Amino acid sequence: MSTALAEAISVVLLVVVLACAVMRPFGWPEAVVAVPAAGVVIATGAISLDHAADEAAQLGPVIGFLAAVLVLAQLCDDEGLFHACGAWMARTAAGRPRRLLVQVFTLASLITAVLSLDATIVLLTPVVFATAARLGARSRPHVYACTHLSNTASLLLPVSNLTNLLAFAASGLSFTRFAALMALPWLVAIAAEYVVFRRFFATDLDAGATAPAIAQPREVPVFALATVACTLVGFVVTSALGIDPAWAAAAGAAVLAVRALAQRRTTPTAILRASAVPFLAFVLALGIVVRAVVDNGLDTALGRLIPDGTGLVALLGIAVLAAVLANVINNLPAVLVLLPLTAPSGPGAVLAVLLGVNIGPNLTYAGSLATLLWRRIVHAHDAEVELKEFTRLGLYAVPASLGAAVLALWVSLTAIGGG
């Protein structure tokens, strides 16, 4: 097959896969289109079987890690962790929407960092809706915070986002060094988001609450919290020993699963469903289709645009390019495309890509799958998300948080090293 034809086939299939992931016709899982598309690029020779197998081998541990974290998050929800968070927010907000926004920012940032952005979108967002309704506060600032922080606050740990897992594998950094370099960008990006939210939603926040802040305290799920803490320690230990951190995630999920099964609060089928097998298949198939696009010329075209080095200007250029690409083709394909091109420049360039693909998607609905999922959850609660408002908020928040995060990354690389 000619290079031009192979490129055309792979690009068309990538567009079709992404369009179906965004629109989900007939409610189909993303994998229904992505898996056959991966088969087509292999069968037509748009990607060699060896390259497809290599891509699958690279994504395998990442997909296993993602499955374990998804199960861990769902079992924490079954233990009552997220409802306890909602009760705490309602009690401590004291009927003040501005204080509630602080609570949401705090919880969403921590949950995203530790249990991944999917936990914030799927499990925390409904709790935030219920908490705002209980207080009689306008839900918009708090619900929008869930989607923005599911992206922005996912910068801290390799486990926080699928894009982080991919970048972590490409960076060559240890778990602790990754976290150390990303801690300052994580903090300043969240702070920038908070400042923008306070100004953008000032009218909603000034409206106050219409119900008394009465909430019965819920029992803290100590066992779930202890398991999550031990799992985080396991991430650090396994990384230091050169063992795939997926084993630590699997161990944490297994502990909660055994407990839940013994207490008959879940079933093997529910645990399998929590692992989101169709979505895992989608990730693998998408990786193969993206690799076909890269192999057939996209890497050459983008290679000319990527700045050399890891100075402040170069890092900013890489992050902006990644943010733009994430909004054009979604952040998961964007990171798959850009990592092989930036990895030779060192961890600093890889982390700059991560800033772009994690913060940038707050600009458009199609920027990340998490945002699309959040939109469906909002609609399920009979709330409306206006495209104009979403985009206008993104135009304020993304440049502020991305610029601050890039500067903070440059400071971290200069102070800690590893660029």
Percentage of the chain lying above the pLDDT 90 cut: 42
Instruction: Please report the pLDDT score of residue 214 as a whole number.
Output: 55
100-133 pLDDT, tens digit each: 999 999 999 999 998 888 788 888 888 898 888 8
Better pLDDT: 239 or 271:
271
Instruction: Please report the pLDDT score of residue 321 as a whole number.
Output: 95
Q: Are 85 and 170 in contact (CB under 8 A)?
A: no
Instruction: Spell out the alpha helix ranges (H) of 241-330.
Output: 246-262, 268-274, 277-293, 299-303, 312-329
Nearest Cα residue to 111 out of 235, 103, 220: 103
Q: Are 416 and 347 in contact (CB under 8 A)?
A: no
Nearest Cα residue to 13 out of 28, 34, 42, 43: 34
- Give the C-alpha separation, 50 to 355, whole Å: 31
- Whether 54 has a pLDDT exceeding 60, the answer reads yes
Instruction: Please report the pLDDT score of residue 375 as a whole number.
Output: 80
Q: What pTM does this model have?
A: 0.82
138-187 pLDDT, tens digit each: 889 999 999 999 999 999 998 888 899 889 989 989 889 999 999 999 99
374-416 pLDDT, tens digit each: 887 787 776 777 888 999 999 999 999 999 999 999 999 999 8
Q: Are 405 and 188 in contact (CB under 8 A)?
A: yes
- Give the C-alpha separation, 58 to 51, whole Å: 11
- Give the C-alpha separation, 174 to 180, whole Å: 10
Q: Are 368 and 390 in contact (CB under 8 A)?
A: no
3-state secondary structure of 207: coil
- Give the C-alpha separation, 102 to 86, whole Å: 13
| Averaged pLDDT score across all residues of the chain | 87
Q: Are 207 and 412 in contact (CB under 8 A)?
A: no
Nearest Cα residue to 138 out of 211, 205, 195: 205
Tally Cβ neighbours within 10 Å of residue 358.
37
> Both tokens of residue 105?
């920012």
Q: Is 377 exposed, middle or buried (0-12, 13-18, 19+ CB in 10 A)?
A: middle
205-231 pLDDT, tens digit each: 988 666 655 555 667 789 998 998 898
Residue 290 main-chain phi, psi, to 5 deg: -65, -40
Task: Write down the residue that tokens 């990538």 correspond to.
Answer: 14
Q: Are 409 and 300 in contact (CB under 8 A)?
A: no
Instruction: Please report the pLDDT score of residue 212 as a whole number.
Output: 58
Q: Is 216 exposed, middle or buried (0-12, 13-18, 19+ CB in 10 A)?
A: exposed
Q: What is the mean pLDDT of residues 348-372?
A: 90
Domain ranges of the chain: 3-416
Instruction: Please report the pLDDT score of residue 149 as a whole number.
Output: 95
Q: Are 128 and 146 in contact (CB under 8 A)?
A: yes
Q: How many CA atoms lie within 13 A of 402 on its CB side?
A: 29
Percentage of the chain lying above the pLDDT 70 cut: 96
Distances (CA, A) of 123 to 70, 92, 115, 220, 357: 11, 20, 11, 17, 23
- Termini Cα distance of the chain: 40
- Whether 239 has a pLDDT exceeding 90, the answer reads no
Q: Which residues of 195-214 are buried (b: 16+ CB within 10 A; e: fewer)?
A: ebbeebbeebbeeebeeebe
